[in-house]
Amino acid sequence: MPIPAFGLGTFRLQGQVVIDSVSTGLELGYRVIDTAQIYENEAEVGQAITASGIAREELFITSKIWIANFAKDRLIDSLKESLNKLQTDYLDLTLIHWPSPEDQVPVEEFMGALLEAKQLGLTRQIGVSNFTVDLMQQAIAAVGAENIATNQIELHPYLQNRKVVEFAQSQGIQITSYMTLAYGEVLKDPLIQQIADRLQATPAQVTLAWAMQQGYAVIPSSTKRANLQGNLQACALTLSDADMALIAGLDRGQRLTSPKGIAPQWD
């Protein structure tokens, strides 16, 4: 079961803001919603989903287990708490949000607990986020590559993360790109603006289409209806090989997310 190519992110959105974003997104046709325990918005996301009246089987809901909940005796209980907040019996995808700092909880332990959650029917698929090649190798050793649906990583034109991408793809693990618009930085890029003008598209649409055309899933967030609608239209945009090659040349290893004490030793 592949990860849907396009979804709605909810990072940094809380309270009424996230309710409005998710409600508008669902109204516009979004059916994939990405949240996390640490975002502290699962209850509001659940509220918006329930109020939408959309049948559960039409939706694809992802959440992520926070590092405080990695221990074998805690992970499944924390997932049940997430399900309760989200007002659903199961998740479509559950990820390990970040690797355990200083390996306090071994990869084998939390991946084993996550696989057990899948076997219990609490989640349809499992995966990882912010994992390096070494950490992916450890996760594969623990549960098998066939049980790791995706690695969700920071990936945008300025950070193309090729080592991680190549290894994941060689194992049949899909890449989900978060922060695909680099907090809006790439939208100001002259090259991306030029391509957008030529295609009568927005820089955001060009960037999202670039990621999806490489087989990555994307989960952009927005609080503005026009942006939510515009982002969705990226699914209908196709870039030429020449444009793809030009954007490939923008990579400069510019990482925007690397929380001290949590981030691994990046590839």
Task: List the catalytic residue out of 30, 39, 178, 216.
Answer: 39
215 vs 6, 12, 116, 205, CA distance in Å?
11, 26, 28, 15
Q: Can you read off the two tokens belonging to residue 97?
A: 């949000």
Is 39 labeled as catalytic in the residue annotation?
yes
3-state class (DSSP) for residue 86: helix
Q: How far apart are CA 222 and CA 225, in angstroms?
A: 8
Q: How far apart are CA 252 and CA 158, in angstroms?
A: 5
**Alpha helix (H) residue ranges in 120-238:** 133-143, 162-170, 190-199, 203-213, 225-232
- Please count the residues of the chain: 267
Q: How far apart are CA 267 and CA 259, in angstroms?
A: 15
Q: How far apart are CA 1 and CA 32, in angstroms?
A: 14
DSSP state of 38: G
Q: Can you read off the two tokens belonging to residue 31?
A: 């059916």
DSSP state of 249: T
Residues recognised as catalytic: 39
